[in-house]
């Protein structure tokens, strides 16, 4: 049986960093070490300018770092010293060969498993933290157990359910924690070690245990269900625009039914983020590989609807701006895939920006936290792109504003001043339905919300 004292996390990203920081804060009797191959990232974690923006994260790191939390690039030494290893490296969608565009690219995972087997001198519990296709734990387990050193390795699946922007709250007060293990004596004992850690701050009845495949699958299914709700309401937004119904009113009306519930019914320009699309594609690929074509088609439709919603948004812009955007300047207000994060992975703003550039529009991008990421995302694109932190400056000489992210700070801008700066007639496309549409219409904008009547002059 493995007794845990030293905990390592491989991968200091959006998942590994906040998760370990909160664990370290809540479990002072354990030592936490986070390693990454990216030196810049580790340097940032060791500085006062953390590599990711997450409300509340700075305080948590400041309390735990130097006490029982450290960051380094010394991966192998970290592995040697650890009793429990969380693996939180990236698992992008495969871009080549079998399953390209759908399956997860597991090369980093397999390398990590082989490295752990090679370097280890003592038995260890290895915890899958990254989202992975179902049955990855089995592959990991076989690689680890093929070591010739007579060491014991137990593999657990502990999927992460935190959402960016609310990660610290989600970690401190999770709806549930899920731990999957092999149902053997050693597997269950390893599971209990991790249960003990979580129970330092999470209610007993919120720590769920399951077999390892259920745990792995639950992660994909949770994200697929959440994304499906967004696609469902987005499909209705198109119908609302055609029928003069109002999608926000429909959301409130259906969400008041406790069987449906009110969360994740906010219609938008589309969902983004590192998980939803990737996890659904994974689910689709898994269903297909088991010959379940109807299941695969059912879930693929969630992505098709999301693509349609983004395309529809751009088409609406083109159509209403007299069928030409060439030479027009458009302010993209928000680039992050949601508010309260600097992350732009799969952000609908990327798609919209590309399409506007194809139409030969000039674009100016304004976001309180995501300008650096936006620059990286658009670095290979041709066309007139500028970046501006100040929304008033950014609105100068623009023909239109497209709201892409629901940042609170965008709700209270002085739209009168922005309108004064713009070419007339001025257009406003609210991809998040965050503005007071009547008010901005009264200022003089032609307003196009999602899933409700446009207000034009
Ligand atoms: C998601 C899951 O929520 C989380 O549990 C999992 O661990 C990782 O994936 P995240 O991608 O960080 O988290 O953000 P989330 O809040 O789920 O939002 C995803 C996307 O859906 C965002 O682009 C958001 O703007 C959009 N969304 C969400 C809507 O358009 N409408 C909604 O009602 C809710
Ligand atoms: P997530 O959102 O899942 O946390 P990120 O891309 O933010 O994903 O983080 C994954 C991290 O894993 C990156 O910082 C990357 O450098 C790191 N990483 C990838 N492969 C390895 C590896 N073999 N050893 C250590 N770190 C790795």
User: Per residue in 370-400, pLDDT tens?
Assistant: 999 999 999 999 999 999 999 999 999 999 9
pTM for the full predicted model: 0.95
Structure confidence at residue 93 (pLDDT): 80
Q: Select from 158, 268, 352 the residue to mutate for testing ligand 1; criterion: most ligand atoms less than 8 Å from CB.
A: 268
Q: Is 38 in the pocket of ligand 2 (CB under 6 A)?
A: yes
- Residue 269, CB half-sphere, CA atoms under 13 Å: how many? 36
Contact 55, 69 (CB under 8 A): no
Structure confidence at residue 31 (pLDDT): 98
Ligand nearest to the CA of 37: 2
Q: Which strands, in side-by-side order, build the sheet including 6-10?
A: 69-72, 31-35, 6-10, 84-87, 124-128, 153-157, 177-181, 207-211
CATH topology identical between 220-307 and 315-448: no
pLDDT digits (tens, 9 = 90+) for 79-88: 999 999 999 9
SS (H, E, C) 138-201: HHHHHHHHCCCCCCCEEEEECCCCCCCCCHHHHHHCCCCEEEEECCCHHHHHHHHHHHHHHCCC
Residue 63 structure tokens: 């309390």
CA–CA separation, 85 and 115 (whole Å): 12
Beta bridge partners of 210: 180
Q: Is 285 in the pocket of ligand 1 (CB under 6 A)?
A: no
The answer, yes or no, to whether residue 1 has pLDDT greater than 80, is no
CA–CA separation, 445 and 421 (whole Å): 12
Q: Is 309 in the pocket of ligand 1 (CB under 6 A)?
A: no
Structure confidence at residue 145 (pLDDT): 86
Closest atom, ligand 1, to C-alpha of 159: 7
pLDDT digits (tens, 9 = 90+) for 282-329: 999 999 999 999 999 999 999 999 999 999 999 999 999 999 999 999
pLDDT digits (tens, 9 = 90+) for 316-356: 999 999 999 999 999 999 999 999 999 999 999 999 999 99
Structure confidence at residue 178 (pLDDT): 98
**Count of CB atoms within 10 A of residue 201's CB?**
15
Q: Is 130 in the pocket of ligand 2 (CB under 6 A)?
A: yes
Q: Is 19 in the pocket of ligand 1 (CB under 6 A)?
A: no
By percentage, how much of the chain surpasses pLDDT 70? 100
**Span from the CA of 439 to the centroid of ligand 2 (angstroms):** 45
Q: Select from 9, 13, 86, 158 the residue to mutate for testing ligand 2; criterion: most ligand atoms less than 8 Å from CB.
A: 13
Contact 162, 171 (CB under 8 A): yes
Structure confidence at residue 423 (pLDDT): 98
CATH superfamily name and code, 6-202: NAD(P)-binding Rossmann-like Domain (3.40.50.720)
CA–CA separation, 86 and 396 (whole Å): 48
CA–CA separation, 403 and 407 (whole Å): 9
By percentage, how much of the chain surpasses pLDDT 90? 89
Q: Is 108 in the pocket of ligand 2 (CB under 6 A)?
A: yes
Q: Return the H-helix or E-strand segment holding 76.
A: helix 75-81
Closest atom, ligand 1, to C-alpha of 270: 30
**Span from the CA of 231 to the centroid of ligand 1 (angstroms):** 12
Q: Which strands, in side-by-side order, build the sheet including 446-448?
A: 385-387, 362-366, 329-333, 400-403, 427-430, 446-448
Domain boundary assignment for the chain: 6-202, 220-307, 315-448
The answer, yes or no, to whether residue 100 has pLDDT greater than 90, is no
Instruction: Please name the CATH architecture into which domain 315-448 falls.
Output: 3-Layer(aba) Sandwich (3.40)
140: pLDDT confidence band, cut at 50, 70 and 90?
Answer: confident
Nearest alpha carbon, ligand 1 atom 31: 266
Closest by Cα among 301, 256, 289 to 103: 289
Contact 431, 348 (CB under 8 A): yes
Structure confidence at residue 132 (pLDDT): 72
DSSP 8-state code for residue 118: H
Structure confidence at residue 62 (pLDDT): 97
Structure confidence at residue 92 (pLDDT): 79
Structure confidence at residue 77 (pLDDT): 97
The answer, yes or no, to whether residue 135 has pLDDT greater than 80, is no
Catalytic residues: 275
The answer, yes or no, to whether residue 139 has pLDDT greater than 90, is no
Q: What is the mean pLDDT of the chain?
A: 95
Phi and psi for 180 in degrees, rounded to 5? -105, 140
Structure confidence at residue 109 (pLDDT): 83
CATH of domain 220-307: 1.10.1040.10
């Amino acid at each position: 049986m493995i007794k845990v004292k030293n905990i390592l996390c491989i991968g200091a990203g959006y998942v590994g960093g906040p998760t370990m920081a909160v664990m370290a804060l809540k479990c002072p009797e354990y030592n936490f070490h986070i390693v990454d191959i990216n030196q810049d990232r580790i340097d940032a974690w060791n500085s006062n300018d953390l590599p990711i923006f997450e409300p509340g994260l700075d305080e948590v790191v400041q309390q735990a770092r130097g006490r029982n939390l450290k960051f380094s690039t010394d991966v192998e030494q970290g592995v040697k010293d650890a009793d429990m290893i969380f693996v939180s490296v990236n698992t992008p969608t495969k871009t080549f060969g079998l399953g390209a565009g759908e399956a997860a690219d597991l090369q980093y995972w397999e390398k990590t498993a082989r490295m752990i087997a090679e370097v280890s001198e003592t038995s260890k519990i290895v915890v899958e933290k990254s989202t992975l296709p179902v049955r990855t734990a089995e592959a990991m387990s076989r690689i680890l157990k093929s070591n010739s050193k007579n060491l014991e390795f137990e593999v657990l699946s502990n999927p992460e359910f935190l959402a960016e922007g609310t990660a610290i709250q989600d970690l401190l007060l999770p709806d549930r924690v899920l731990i999957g293990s092999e149902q053997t004596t050693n597997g269950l004992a390893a599971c209990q070690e991790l249960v003990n850690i979580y129970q330092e701050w999470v209610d007993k009845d919120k720590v769920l245990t399951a077999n390892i495949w259920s745990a792995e699958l639950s992660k994909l299914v949770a994200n697929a269900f959440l994304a499906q709700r967004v696609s469902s309401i987005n499909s209705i937004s198109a119908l609302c625009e055609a029928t003069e119904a109002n999608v926000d009113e429909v959301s409130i009306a259906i969400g008041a039914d406790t069987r449906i519930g009110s969360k994740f019914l906010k219609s938008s320009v589309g969902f983004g983020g590192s998980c939803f699309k990737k996890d659904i594609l994974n689910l689709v690929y898994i269903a297909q590989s088991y010959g379940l074509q109807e299941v695969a088609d059912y879930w693929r439709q969630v992505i098709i609807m999301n693509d349609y919603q983004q395309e529809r948004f751009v088409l609406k812009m083109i159509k209403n701006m007299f069928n030409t955007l060439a030479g027009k300047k458009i302010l993209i207000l928000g680039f992050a895939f949601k508010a309260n994060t600097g992350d732009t992975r799969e952000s609908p703003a990327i798609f919209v920006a590309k399409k506007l550039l194809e139409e030969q529009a000039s674009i100016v991008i304004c976001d309180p936290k995501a300008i650096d990421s936006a620059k990286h995302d658009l670095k290979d694109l041709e066309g007139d792109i500028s970046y501006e932190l100040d929304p008033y400056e950014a609105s100068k000489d623009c023909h239109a504003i497209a709201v892409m992210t629901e940042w609170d700070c965008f709700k209270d801008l002085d739209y009168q001043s922005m309108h004064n700066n713009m070419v007339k007639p001025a257009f406003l496309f609210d991809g998040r339905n965050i503005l007071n549409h009547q008010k901005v219409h009264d200022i003089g904008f032609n307003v196009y919300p999602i899933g409700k009547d446009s207000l034009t002059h």
